[in-house]
Amino acid sequence: MPVVNFHLAEGQSSTKQHEQLLRESCLLYCEVLKAPMDRVRAFITSHTASQFTVAGDITRGTGLNHAPYFEFIVLEGRPLEERQRLLSGFTELLVNIMKVRRELVRGCCRRVDPEDWAIGGVSASVLRKEEISMRAEAAALSVNK
């Protein structure tokens, strides 16, 4: 379920930086949410520099006012501490990998009700209930051994 999308102005960063940002953002999600890697998705949406403004100024590919924006999705019910760690962690990745000024980075967490999220066409609320039930059964079996 974890999904993050970084909005970047074109020409402000390299392919190598993009790949590192995507890899490390997936690792951050796994660490913070204890999510399996196969569930994590990370994207970069590039915006033409002439169509990207910061404080009313067109970026023009100079790098002086590169101000990435990110948004990520978690299922409703995730603790505030986890959401704040992700907000902070994604910001750190942009500052360290993309070499942007911290004060120019913006980010947003979007919480989605499990009934409004589908995985393979099945509501996450249904899958979550099944997963919790299977974990409980496995735990009961290990206690009874």
Q: Give tens-digit pLDDT for 21-67.
A: 999 999 999 999 998 899 899 999 998 877 777 777 776 655 556 78
Longest dimension (CA), the chain: 66
Q: Give tens-digit pLDDT for 72-113.
A: 999 888 999 999 999 999 999 999 999 988 998 999 999 999
pLDDT at 68 over 60: yes
Confidence of residue 130 (pLDDT cuts 50, 70, 90): low
Pick the closest to residue 126 from 138, 137, 139, 116 (CA basis): 116
Angle at the Cα of 16 from the Cα atoms of 13 and 20, rounded to 5 degrees: 100
Q: For residue 24, how many other CB atoms are within 10 A of its CB?
A: 17
Give the predicted TM-score (pTM) of the model: 0.83
The rounded distance, in Å, linking the Cα atoms of 111 and 108 is 10
Give the lowest-confidence range in 2-16, 81-95, 98-112, 114-128. 114-128
Answer for the pair 46, 6: CB distance below 8 angstroms, yes or no.
no
pLDDT at res. 124: 84
pLDDT at 144 over 80: no
